[in-house]
Structure 1
Amino acid sequence: MENKRTIAVTGASGYIASWVVKKLLNHGHTVHATVRDLSNKEKTTHLLKQGEIHPGKLKMFEADLLEGGFKEAFLGCDSVIHIASPFLIGKVNDPQRELVDPALEGTRRVLEAVNAIETITKVVLTSSVVAMYNDAKEAQKLPEKTFTSDCWNTTASLTNQPYNYAKTVAEKEAWKMCTEQSRWTLTTIHPAFVMGPSLTTRVDGASMQFMVDTMRGQMKMGAPALSYGFVDVRDVAESHVHALEVDYTGERFISANEVMDLLEFGELVQRVTEHTEYPLPKKHLSSWLFYIAGPLRGFSMKFIRQNLGYRFSFDNRPIQEKLGVRFRSMDETFRDMVLQMERDNLI
C-alpha cells in the first residue's frame, strides 16, 4: 500500500461515495468530503459519525457541481475521487438541465479545480458501464457477447437514454482535459447497477428506490426479460480506493460482478432473504405485455426492441488482476441490503 494520502471526495453524501469515504478512512487516509449543503443533517450525519471514529481525518466542505467551490476543498490534497453526478430513475423532464449539465459541467469544474491545485497528481472518476454501451443488443456482435473497457457508447443522446449520454460525454471530457496537461493521471471506474446496504436511511437514490419498489411488488405480475449487470456498493468503493493505492493509471475499469435478468434477480433476493411475504417476481412478464405496459413505466419502444431478451456479459478481469478487487457473492450483497432496509424500516 502507498503512503497515506489526502484525498478529496466529491458528492460524499451519496450512496457510493459514503462507502468510499468510510473505506478511505479505514485505510488510514485523510478525506476532504464535499457536499452540496453542510446544513443538511440528513445527508451529513453519517459522514460526521465516520469522522468521530477517525479523529482529525475527515474535513467537510460545501461545493456544488454547477456553482463550483471545489478549490477550497482540494487545497492540501494529492488525489481527487470525483463521484458526484445525478442518477435518476423514471421520467426526466429536462435531460439537459437535470442530467447533462451537472455531469458535464460538474466534471469540468472539478477538473479545473484540480488543474489549479498543484499538489494533486491522481484523479479517479466514477463513470458507468453505460458509458461503454447503450443497449444489450450491441453485445450480440461482440466476441462472447462481452463488453470490455475498449467499448464506448456511441448511440445515446438527449432523446435516447439521456442518463447514458450524460455519463458518456462527462467521461470523454475528463479524458480530454487529462490529455491537455501532464501533472495528474486519470483512472475511471465503471460500475454496473450498484446494490448492497446503504450507510444512510435515505431512499433518494436510484439503487435504493429500485430495491424498495421491487420489494413492494412492482414486478409481482412478472419481470420483463431485461438483463443488467449488478455489483456490490462495497466492492465499487474498494475499486476506487485500490485505484489510488496501485500504480495502474490511465485506464478504464469495469466494476461489475454478475449479469442477471430481472426474474433471476428476484429469485436470488427471494432465496437469500428466506422471506415469503415479499411480492417478488416469480415468472417472466410476457413480451407482448411489456410492449404494452413498458411505455407506461417510462421505457421507450426503441429501448424495449434493443434490450428485451438480449443477454450479455462484462469483462471484469482487469479490475481484479490490476486493482486487486475481489467481488463478494451477490447472495451476500442482497442479503445485507434487505437486512439493512428491514432494520431501517424502509420496506
Structure 2
Amino acid sequence: MTAISGPQDGPVAVTGASGFIGSHTVKNLVDAGYDVRACLRDASRDDKTAYLKAMHDAGPGTVSLHACDLMKASEGAYDEAFAACAAVFHVAADIGTDPAYGRPSPESMYDSLVTQTAGVLESARKAGTVRRVMYTSSTAAVMGPGAPDRPKDYEYTEDDWAGGSYETLDERYTRTNAEGEVVKAWTVQRSSYAKGKVDAERYGFEFGAKHGIDVISHCPCHVLGPLLGKPHDTVWQHRIGVFLSGSTDFPKQGMNWNIIDVRDIAEAQRLMAESSVASNGSRYMMVATD
C-alpha cells in the first residue's frame, strides 16, 4: 500500500486521542492541516476534550470527537470513526496490570492488548480506505523481560525482540513457579505487557500483509514532555517527582532509562504515514539521542 501524501488524501483517526501521546499526535496532525477524528472513550467530558476542541479552533486542520470504547474494539466500536479515513494512528492501550488500575490479572492485560489491536485493525479493514495503521508498541517489545543476555554496551535495534525472536518468545518467557507449575508469559506480571506488545505487532504485520494495509509500529521508551491534558499518576512527570522525592516505592524492575520527547513521537508518527520508505512491517525505535 502507498503512503498518504497529505491532508488532501482524506481524514485520519487517532485512538486514545485524550491521552499523553494521543493528544500530541492529534495536535501535530492538525498543525499539518489534517482533518482528525479524535477517538476517546467519553467524548462528553470537558476535562478530556477541552484541549482537543482548542486544537480545532486553532487549525489549520480540524478535530471531530468520536466516542469509541477500546474495550469494545472487537465489537466494531471504531467502524464509524474510521469510515473514509486514509490512515489510523492506534495509540490507545489498556495497560494496567494491577487491580487498582482496573485490570484483574496479567492474563487479561495481555489479552486486551492483542484483542483490542485486532479489533482496531478489523475496523480499519472494513473502512476500505485506510492505507496505513501506525501502531504504538513499546521498547518493552524490544528489550523487555525474557530478552537474551546482552553485553553491557549492547546497542538494541529494531531487529531485536523481547524474548529473542518470534520463535523463542514463548520458550524464553515460560517459567516454573515455586509450586512447580509451568507459568506462561501472559500470566507473569512483568512480562505480560512486553509479550502482549510483541504479539500485537506480529499480528498487525501479518494482518497488513493479508489485507493490503501497511501496519507500521513504533516502540517508544520512557516518554517525557508537556502535558496537554490533566496530569495522572502513570505519566512520567509524576513518576520523576516520586523519584526525586527519594521514595523507595519508585519502580525499579530492571528498567532501561532511555527517554524521548512526546512531541518527537507525534512528529515521527505523521512522517511514518507519509513516508515512501516505510511499508508494512516497518518498525521504529523511538529513543532520543544523547
Q: TM-score range by the shorter chain?
A: 0.7 to 0.9
1:203 partnered with 2:232? yes
User: Matched residue of 1:31: which SS?
Assistant: strand
1:96 partnered with 2:126? no
1:81 partnered with 2:92? no
Question: Could you tell me the TM-score, scaled by structure 2's length?
Answer: 0.79
Shift of 1:22: 0.3
**Match of 2:211?**
181
Higher gyration radius (CA):
1
**Match of 2:65?**
60
Shift of 1:56: 6.7
RMSD: 2.7
1:19 partnered with 2:24? yes
Question: Could you tell me the TM-score, scaled by structure 1's length?
Answer: 0.67
**Paired residue type of 1:173:** Y
CA contact (8 A) 2:145 2:191 kept: no
1:236 partnered with 2:253? no
CA contact (8 A) 1:132 1:153 kept: yes
**Match of 2:288?**
257
Shift of 1:206: 3.8
Structure 1 residue aligned with 2:194, among 148, 153, 164? 164
Deviations 1:122-147 (A, max 9, x none): 111111111112249735259x5111
User: Matched residue of 1:123: which SS?
Assistant: strand
Deviations 1:113-165 (A, max 9, x none): 111011111111111111112249735259x5111111112244221422212
**Match of 1:42?**
47
Unaligned runs of 5+ in 1: 259-328, 330-347
Shift of 1:226: 5.1
**Paired residue type of 1:74:** F
1:153 partnered with 2:162? yes
**Match of 1:2?**
5
Pick 1 or 2: higher relative contact order, CA cutoff 8 A, min separation 6: 2
User: Matched residue of 2:28: which SS?
Assistant: helix
CA contact (8 A) 1:139 1:147 kept: no
**Match of 2:169?**
none
Aligned residues: 255
Q: 1:95 to 1:9 in 2, by over 3 A?
A: same
Deviations 1:8-35 (A, max 9, x none): 0011011001000000000111101100
Q: Distance in 1 between matches of 2:249 and 2:192?
A: 28
Shift of 1:73: 0.4
Q: 1:54 to 1:22 in 2, by over 3 A?
A: same
User: Matched residue of 1:73: which SS?
Assistant: helix
CA contact (8 A) 1:9 1:32 kept: yes
CA contact (8 A) 1:203 1:209 kept: yes
CA contact (8 A) 1:87 1:205 kept: no
1:127 partnered with 2:137? yes
Q: Distance in 2 between matches of 1:113 and 1:238?
A: 24
**Match of 1:313?**
none
